[in-house]
Amino acid sequence: MINLIFYFFAFLAIAAALYAVSTKQIIRSVFAMFACFFAISGLLVFAQSDFIAIAHLMIYVGGILVVMVFGIMLSQKASLSNVVLQKKSISLHQYLALLACVALFVILMYFFYLYGPNTPIHYVGSDIEIIGIALLTKYLLPFELVSLLLLAAFIFTAMVTRKNKNL
């Protein structure tokens, strides 16, 4: 039963990801990405990191996907109808993207080869207390840097969207 659910999520993640890059309708690919993110957060639960799973759901589905959908909806009218994605000859930046994907895949496979499927997981518990204490002691500097970055993004957005530049 558990195995079945795991393989269902794995299949859903791969199928949805493939559909997201192959479909010609942008809005459908966004919703396929939702299915993909959802399946990945299901897989994260299997990896015994349920906090990360929920955070993944919250950030990607509640934040990034909604912003993407808004971007598509508020862009030009042409993109509201079925947009035919360009299928010309492959240009340089597409080769670069392919290179990046292959590199990422190689790195992932390298670590998979290094540690193997039978390496026992060093489980310290997904308790939020552990995560909270780790964030505010060991990883305090990166945590604060990220929050500074987010604050800068906030201020920048407020500056860009302000109508009256003199205020």
Q: Can you tell me the distance from the alpha carbon of 94 to that of 96, in angstroms, rounded to the nearest whole number?
A: 5
Residue pair 51/128 in contact (Cβ under 8 Å)? The answer is yes
Nearer to another protein, 127 or 144 (CB): 127
According to the binding rule CB under 8 A, does residue 15 interact with another protein? no
Segment interacting with another protein, rule: CB under 8 A, options 46-54, 85-93, 101-109, 113-121: 46-54
Query: At its nearest, how many Å lie between another protein and the CB of residue 142?
Result: 21
Segment interacting with another protein, rule: CB under 8 A, options 54-62, 90-98, 111-119, 147-155: 54-62
Total number of residues binding another protein (CB under 8 A)? 23
Nearer to another protein, 5 or 90 (CB): 5
Tokens of 97: 């993207």
Instruction: List CB contacts of 28: < 8 A, sequence separation 6 or more.
Output: 19
According to the binding rule CB under 8 A, does residue 83 interact with another protein? no
**According to CB under 8 A, which one of 6, 31, 46, 143 is a site residue for another protein?**
31
Residue pair 23/29 in contact (Cβ under 8 Å)? The answer is yes
**According to CB under 8 A, which one of 50, 79, 83, 143 is a site residue for another protein?**
50
Q: Quick one: CA dihedral 21, 109, 134, 155, positive or negative?
A: negative
- Report, in angstroms and rounded to the nearest whole number, the Rg of the chain calculated over CA atoms: 20
The long-range contacts involving 15-24, CB below 8 angstroms and separated by at least 24 positions, are 24/82, 24/83, 24/84, 24/85
Q: Can you tell me the distance from the alpha carbon of 120 to that of 46, in angstroms, rounded to the nearest whole number?
A: 14
According to the binding rule CB under 8 A, does residue 24 interact with another protein? no
Nearer to another protein, 28 or 162 (CB): 28
Q: What residues line the site for another protein (CB under 8 A)?
A: 25, 27-28, 31, 34, 38, 50-51, 54-55, 57-58, 61-63, 65-66, 69-70, 73, 126-128
